[in-house]
Homo-oligomer: A and B are copies of this chain.
């Protein structure tokens, strides 16, 4: 699977599934109505942005960035991942995560996810990749199907 650094022109092919995923309101804390310009800023302006391209389509994207800025905790990364729902279940998420973790190891000592919705099926993937649940912010996410659910803080050494 070809995984590469994103370029600005990729955004127009990320935005359709970005919007679909955020508008569904089941896995991200971002506003379900996030406008495209704001979404582009939230995603494309990060330190590293990756895309998975398959048969001319972008099927997944991820970013990594420092989780706590450039100060005394600058060795801790953060990341986010999205797989186009039309291309789910094909292993793109796992391969993209492995790529992002490998690259993050060059600059960081750990990775933290601040807000993983506990009902997100991706939790299994993060656990299988060595992340652990550090704690749960109870009822912190209003899920459109499940109601108030927790947000996991997840952690992995790099």
Contact = CB atoms under 8 A, between A and B. Distances in A.
Interface of A: 22, 25, 28-32, 34, 68-73, 75-76, 109-110, 112, 114-115, 133-144, 151, 153, 155
Instruction: Kindly report how many copies of this chain are found in the complex they form together.
Output: 2
A134 B153 contact: yes
Contacts of A29: 68-69, 71-73
B71 A32 contact: yes
Given A110-B137, A134-B136, A31 B153 contact: no
Contacts of A28: 71-72
Contact of A72 (B76, B135, B136, B143): B143
Contact of A69 (B30, B73, B76): B30
Contacts of A141: 72-73
Contact of A135 (B31, B135, B138, B140): B135
7 contacts: A29-B68, A31-B71, A68-B140, A73-B141, A76-B137, A110-B137, A112-B137
